[in-house]
Each structure stands twice: as structure tokens, then as C-alpha cells.
């Protein structure tokens, strides 16, 4: 560590602190909450006063009273109808419930399975082999029919042969330009 030179960094740091202190940063001004709202005019003028509401006439009051009475009557009628239908539904539900409790469900008689005649294992194997051979024969015929239909479809899909091109007509004489002489002076 002795080989390194000693540096005087403290003086440099103090000089930098002095330079930074000279540069004073202005803090941004915070807008007042009153200026934020859109209802206030921005140019300092006051908003025009709102017009006062016109007083309600007696005729309007009487009409509103009649409407309120009709609304209350219709509301009461709807509640009454709802209550009646709910009571009717409850009564039907209770009747069904009690009917189910009174008569327990009768178990359905299970049909007795038909007795299967016992067949020897050799006969079972023979019958299995016979059904296998019948199914294999059906499979072979279906496979053959499918191949034939596939070949027919391929033939139908092949494009027809292209017609042979006709030989080009021979030119007997060179066409003559009637205006050629006009340009040869």
C-alpha cells in the first residue's frame, strides 16, 4: 500500500458541494385544490348565477298527490297478488309432499332372467368361430366393393386427355405494306 500516492480528495469534494449549493433548484408550485375543479372559471371571472326554480303550482301539487296515491294502490295490489300466488303454491307443495309421505313407493317387481341353456364349451367355441367367419366374409365383400368404387372415383377424377395441337398454317407470301413506298424517297 505504500506504493500508491496519497490523494487529497476531501478538498475536491468540498469544492463540488459548494458548486451544487450555488445551483438552487426551484421547487414546482403545487396547485391549490380550488384550481383543480372544472366548475371554477380559469380566467378569474365569476360564473353567472343559476336561475332560481319556479315554484310548483297548486295544480301540479294536486296532480303529484293523485299519482302518489295511485302508485301506492298499485303497489299494494301487486303485493297482495304476490302473496296470494305464494300461498297457493305453498298449499300445492304441501299437498304433494303429504301425498308422497302417505303412499310409499312400491318396488317394481324385477323380471326373472330367462334361463340360459347350458352349452358345452366346444359348442360355444364352434358358434364363436362360425360368427367370426360370417363377419370375415362380410368384411371381405365390403373391402372388395370399396376398392371397386375407389377405382371408379379415381377414373372419374382424371382429367380428359388434351387435344392434339393443330399444325400452324403456312404463310404463302409475305404481307405487303401499302404505305411502304411513302417513306422511301
- Pair 64, 57: CB distance under 8 Å: no
Q: pLDDT per residue over 54-87, tens digit each?
A: 899 999 999 999 999 999 999 999 999 999 999 9
Query: What parts of the chain have a pLDDT lower than 70?
Result: 1-2, 4-8, 20-45, 103-107, 116-119, 169-173, 185
- Rounded CA-CA distance 133/139 in Å is 10
Q: SS3 helix, strand, coil % of the chain, rounded to 5?
A: 55, 0, 45
Q: How far apart are CA 169 and CA 173, in angstroms?
A: 12
CA 27 to centroid of chain Cα atoms: 52
Amino acid at each position: 500500500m505504500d506504493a500508491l500516492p496519497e490523494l487529497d480528495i476531501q478538498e475536491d469534494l468540498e469544492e463540488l458541494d459548494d458548486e451544487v449549493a450555488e445551483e438552487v433548484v426551484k421547487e414546482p408550485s403545487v396547485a391549490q385544490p380550488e384550481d383543480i375543479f372544472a366548475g371554477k372559471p380559469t380566467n378569474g371571472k365569476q360564473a353567472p348565477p343559476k336561475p332560481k326554480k319556479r315554484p310548483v303550482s297548486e295544480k301540479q301539487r294536486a296532480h303529484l298527490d293523485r299519482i302518489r296515491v295511485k302508485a301506492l294502490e298499485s303497489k299494494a295490489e301487486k303485493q297482495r297478488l304476490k302473496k296470494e300466488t305464494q300461498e297457493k303454491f305453498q298449499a300445492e307443495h304441501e299437498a304433494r309432499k303429504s301425498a308422497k309421505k302417505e303412499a310409499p313407493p312400491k318396488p317394481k317387481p324385477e323380471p326373472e332372467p330367462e334361463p340360459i341353456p347350458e352349452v358345452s364349451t366346444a359348442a360355444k367355441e364352434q358358434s364363436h368361430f362360425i360368427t367370426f367367419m360370417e363377419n370375415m366374409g362380410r368384411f371381405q365383400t365390403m373391402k372388395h366393393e370399396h376398392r371397386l368404387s375407389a377405382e371408379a372415383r379415381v377414373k372419374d377424377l382424371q382429367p380428359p386427355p388434351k387435344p392434339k395441337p393443330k399444325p400452324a398454317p403456312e404463310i404463302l407470301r409475305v404481307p405487303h405494306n401499302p404505305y411502304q413506298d411513302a417513306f422511301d424517297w
